[in-house]
Structure 1
Amino acid sequence: MTFHVVVGAGPTGTATALLLAESGDDVRVVTRRGTGPKHARIELTAADATSELADLAEGAATLINCAMPPYNRWPEETPALSDGLLHAAERTGAGYVNLSNAYGYGPAGSPLTDDLPLRPTTIKGRVRAQMYRDGLAAHEAGRLRFTEVRPADYLGVGALAMFNWFIGPQVQAGQEVVFPADLDAAHSWTYIGDVAKTLAAVARSQRSWGTAWHTPQTSDMSIREIAARFATIAGRPQPSVREMTALELHTATADPLMAESAEMQYLYQRECVLDWSRTAAELGLEPTPLDDVLRELAAAA
């Protein structure tokens, strides 16, 4: 029976572990507190991923990382996590699959293809890029097998995501949607379940190693369009949508999470679309329909 180790039990880690388990594979989910989804084929383990992974990954076909430190601690704490993952993969022979995002590209022109060079201009972009470079260097040196999956903005219940902060609750409550973005620019949205499908697919594919893969995108709707569509699906009035003013944005940065997000605002001030055509062609993946995703979000509210 195939055995996988999934690090992290947030929405993506949970969805990935459940998908693998429901397909008949055995999964060990590693978190600091031993939390995670309940399933007969899932073992929940409390451990420090920076130092204890190698023993836990013995016999695993793949080591799938869905974890990151707190958003405001990325520069200080990510290197130790990355080193722990690399060490575990090298010692055990498990293929290392890293979940990342589009931060590493920097403010490149849209559409973003998965073969673009990484040219980050932000602290968080540099952290993401370094994780990929370290993994790829180890892969090319023959020390391990490495691949990376890159989604866009998350859509999904429980996701720490812009939709769940600025759009969904406001639409459900009949309130104005105020978003720090170009409201009419095309923007890619990724369903959490499709992230899990992509992670599972690359983990099982012999041709996935040594490169990066974009997840299927469930929509490229603008902020204004997706807010309107969600209102229709949820049976709520069509929302008033406006761009956050500079003063409002400055005030919002009093919130620690918003303060940490400020450097990534360029992703929302222009078109930001991920090209996932290679994923469709080579892995045969397609996105979950947007309306299905929005119904799930509406039902969970």
Structure 2
Amino acid sequence: MTDHVILGKGQIGSTVAAILAERGESVRVLSRSGGTDTPGITHIKVDARDAAALTAASAGADVFYNCANPGGYHRWAEEWPPMFAAILAAAKANGASLVQTGNLYGYGPVSEPMHERTPLRSPGHKGRLRIQMWKDALALHEAGDIRFTEARGSDFFGPGALADAMLGERFVRPLIEGKHLSIVGDPDAPHTFTYIPDVARTLVRLAGDDRSWGRPWHVPSAPAVSQREMAEIVCRLLGRDPAVIRRLPWWVLIRVIGTFQPAMRGMTETRHQWDGPYIMESSDFTSTFGDEPTDTETALGETIEWWQRRLVPA
């Protein structure tokens, strides 16, 4: 039986754990706060920045899934370097393969659809940080110290996506509650969105297939649609007329909302993703492994169901 270790118990890590446990695999979930064990899943409290502690907590791992993320953009510079160095050290010490949850920040502003061969040329701090993480892990892979791959997705949405997701708390919830919708960026620009369960399934697929190692893969994602179109689908599924959409100035998100949600202040670097077309191609993955993305209507339907359960009064 393969010994799977998952770092992070957010929406992606928890979904990966559930998929593996359902298959009867041995699963350990490592996080700062720990958790309650469930059938097939053991939770361990550990500080991922502590290389020795992380190595000990992941002892015997065959596959390491990095689904962790520092709590907000404002903490990336401080927390990512020691955390990722500890992750690499733990994977190497245990002889474990590493499957990394990635994003598109390393590409920076682009004018064409992104694919896995798009150059990593981000001028921004967060993008450069992700590029360095990729290079550090790939160097260990090429040296034969670990096996490594990365699953890159566009903006995540789905069950469990809350305030840190553009299609989370500020998008789905007001539509369910029949309110107007305030968005940033161009409401009609085509944008690729990546469904969280598709991310989790991709990580599991990559971990179990020898064709995955040594290169990045884009998570299967449905064809790009605009924020307006996403809102219209949600309203149609709810049986309502399209919502009134108001364009929120960036300074409101960054300065005003950022006062209460510090992570929003980091959106300055990534506003290009919303001010024009932002399209990711994922055909490499589908043609290699056969997995198709969840269609947008199904994904939004499942997202609505999750939110409706969450909003039911206790």
TM-score (norm 2): 0.91
The aligned amino acid for 1:184 is D
In structure 2, the CA distance between the partners of 1:246 and 1:146, relative to structure 1 (3 Å rule), is closer
What displacement does 1:236 show? Answer: 2.8
CA contact (8 A) 1:253 1:262 kept: no
In structure 2, the CA distance between the partners of 1:29 and 1:221, relative to structure 1 (3 Å rule), is same
Structure 1 segment 48-63 matched on structure 2, within 5 A: 48-50=47-49, 51=51, 52-63=53-64
- 2:25 matches 1:21: no
Greater shift after overlay, 48-57 or 115-124? Answer: 48-57
Q: Distance in 2 between matches of 1:180 and 1:269?
A: 8
Q: Distance in 2 between matches of 1:83 and 1:8?
A: 16
Q: Distance in 1 between matches of 2:59 and 2:252?
A: 50
The aligned amino acid for 1:62 is V
Which of 96, 108, 111 aligns to 2:110? It is: 108
- 2:81 matches 1:79: yes
Other structure's SS at 1:149 match: strand
Other structure's SS at 2:236 match: helix
CA contact (8 A) 1:155 1:192 kept: yes
The aligned amino acid for 1:134 is D
The corresponding residue for 1:97 is: 99
Which of 245, 251, 256 aligns to 2:249? It is: 245
The aligned amino acid for 2:132 is Q
Q: Distance in 1 between matches of 2:150 and 2:245?
A: 35
The aligned amino acid for 2:7 is V
The aligned amino acid for 2:57 is L
What displacement does 1:219 show? Answer: 4.2
The aligned amino acid for 2:103 is N
The corresponding residue for 2:11 is: 11
The corresponding residue for 2:189 is: 185
Greater shift after overlay, 192-201 or 241-250? Answer: 241-250
Can you list the C-alpha shifts for 1:124-166, whole angstroms capped at 9, x where unaligned?
1122111111101111122211111111111112213101133
The corresponding residue for 1:270 is: 276
Structure 1 segment 152-167 matched on structure 2, within 5 A: 152-159=154-161, 160-167=164-171
CA contact (8 A) 1:21 1:39 kept: no
- Unaligned 5+ segments in structure 2 are 308-314
Which of 165, 174, 178 aligns to 1:174? It is: 178
- Unaligned 5+ segments in structure 1 are none
In structure 2, the CA distance between the partners of 1:252 and 1:46, relative to structure 1 (3 Å rule), is closer
What displacement does 1:237 show? Answer: 2.7
Which of 251, 254, 278 aligns to 2:259? It is: 254
Greater shift after overlay, 160-169 or 111-120? Answer: 160-169
Structure 1 segment 113-262 matched on structure 2, within 5 A: 113-159=115-161, 160-245=164-249, 248-249=252-253, 250-255=255-260, 256-262=262-268
Other structure's SS at 1:163 match: coil
The corresponding residue for 1:299 is: 305
Q: Distance in 1 between matches of 2:113 and 2:68?
A: 27
Q: Distance in 1 between matches of 2:257 and 2:269?
A: 13
Provide the aligned C-alpha RMSD in A: 1.6
Other structure's SS at 1:115 match: coil
In structure 2, the CA distance between the partners of 1:2 and 1:182, relative to structure 1 (3 Å rule), is same
Q: Distance in 2 between matches of 1:204 and 1:148?
A: 13
Q: Distance in 2 between matches of 1:155 and 1:57?
A: 29
TM-score (norm 1): 0.95
Q: Distance in 2 between matches of 1:245 and 1:32?
A: 35
Residues matched between the structures, number: 300
Aligned identity (percent) is: 37
The aligned amino acid for 2:182 is V
